[in-house]
């Protein structure tokens, strides 16, 4: 195969440049699978219980991996900026997962993936970094795509559709905080801190849900605890493994690069989300969702490709 490519192009392919794209391809596929499994799980396991159980499985493994070279490496996990980042990401997941029981996964995914465009917006407003005209254009195109997906003037519009928009805002603020304050923090430490906040949020949510005692209003958010069966336990354990693999793949993807290609391929999540939704739930997006998702994806690619490449 390599010889055939060399005969056609005159040069041997640079296989080292395929590592980053391959990693982000696997990561986006697993992220979409993870979200589909959580939507599946939402029918029988409360969100806060899921947060707590998954983190309890992940934290000992992460602590062991990080502490191999000294327990002091865990200390930055409690830094105030690191904890702020973790809190924003947990809020992002709360909003995202809260929308899953009431909206189709492709709709939630399409609106959530305006996050990279909010990053462009906040980069100019908060970090005072220059933003290209093409990037501002991408923000406008993405906004049009969101309007097409949500159809706020339509008869079937639901305020629940605004929940993943809040998720995208939290994601963008978390990434801005990462860029502005945590450029030199070990990614494994960031992941450990994130799961500490997940566990704390899970405990707080369980306690608050028990006090409110109104699970019938919104079972996924207001049920304090549900009995565990073998299916739920297996899915939670699987999601814990998937979560770790996703973070490793994401780190590898951006370490191997090329950055512009990897960031562009990140939008493949939208396609994978549609595939998993069809396989797990038999749901297929309508024409407005497909059109709006394509506009959001094009806007994201425009925003990414208009950035100067670092590699």
C-alpha to C-alpha distances, 262 to 5, 22, 259, 268, 275, nearest whole angstrom: 23, 9, 5, 10, 21
What is the DSSP code (8-state) at residue 97? H
Across the range 26-45, mean pLDDT stands at 91
pLDDT reported for residue 9: 40
User: Is 30 in contact with 245 (CB distance < 8 Å)?
Assistant: yes
User: Residue 277, Cβ neighbours under 10 Å: how many?
Assistant: 23
pLDDT reported for residue 52: 96
* CA-closest candidate to residue 88, choices 59, 36, 80: 80
CA 205, 63, 85, 76 torsion-angle sign: positive
pLDDT at 192 over 50: yes
pLDDT at 250 over 70: yes
What's the predicted TM-score (pTM) here? Answer: 0.80
Cα of 52 vs its chain's centroid, Å: 18
User: Residue 141, Cβ neighbours under 10 Å: how many?
Assistant: 18
User: Is 189 in contact with 74 (CB distance < 8 Å)?
Assistant: yes
Q: What is the mean pLDDT of the chain?
A: 81
* CA-closest candidate to residue 295, choices 110, 161, 157: 110
Structure confidence by residue, pLDDT tens digits, 49-100: 999 999 999 999 889 888 887 778 888 899 999 999 899 999 999 999 999 8
């Amino acid at each position: 195969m390599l010889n055939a490519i060399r005969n056609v192009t005159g040069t041997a392919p640079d296989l080292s440049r395929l590592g980053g794209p391959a990693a982000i391809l696997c990561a986006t596929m697993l992220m979409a699978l993870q979200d589909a499994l959580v939507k599946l799980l939402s029918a029988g396991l409360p969100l806060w219980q899921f947060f707590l159980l998954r983190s309890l499985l992940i934290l000992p493994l992460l602590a062991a991996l990080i502490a191999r070279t000294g327990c002091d490496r865990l200390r930055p996990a409690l830094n105030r900026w690191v904890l702020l980042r973790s809190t924003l990401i947990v809020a992002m997941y709360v909003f995202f997962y809260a929308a899953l029981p009431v909206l189709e996964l492709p709709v939630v995914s399409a609106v959530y993936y305006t996050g990279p465009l909010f990053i462009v917006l906040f980069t100019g407003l908060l970090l005072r970094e220059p933003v290209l005209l093409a990037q501002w254009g991408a923000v406008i195109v993405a906004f049009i795509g969101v309007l097409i997906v949500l159809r706020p003037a339509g008869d079937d519009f639901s305020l629940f559709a605004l929940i993943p928009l809040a998720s995208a805002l939290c994601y963008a603020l978390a990434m801005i905080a990462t860029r502005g304050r945590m450029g030199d923090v070990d990614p494994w430490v960031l992941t450990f801190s994130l799961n500490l906040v997940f566990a704390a949020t899970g405990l707080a949510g369980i306690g608050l849900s028990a006090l409110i005692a109104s699970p019938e209003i919104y079972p996924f958010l207001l049920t304090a605890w549900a009995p565990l069966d073998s299916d739920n336990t297996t899915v939670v354990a699987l999601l814990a493994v998937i979560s770790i693999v996703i973070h490793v793949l994401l780190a590898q993807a951006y370490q191997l690069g090329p950055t512009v290609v990897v960031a562009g391929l990140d939008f493949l999540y939208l396609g994978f989300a549609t595939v998993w939704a069809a396989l797990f739930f038999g749901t297929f997006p309508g024409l407005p969702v497909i059109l709006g998702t394509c506009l959001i994806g094009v806007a994201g690619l425009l925003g990414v490709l208009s950035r100067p490449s670092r590699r």
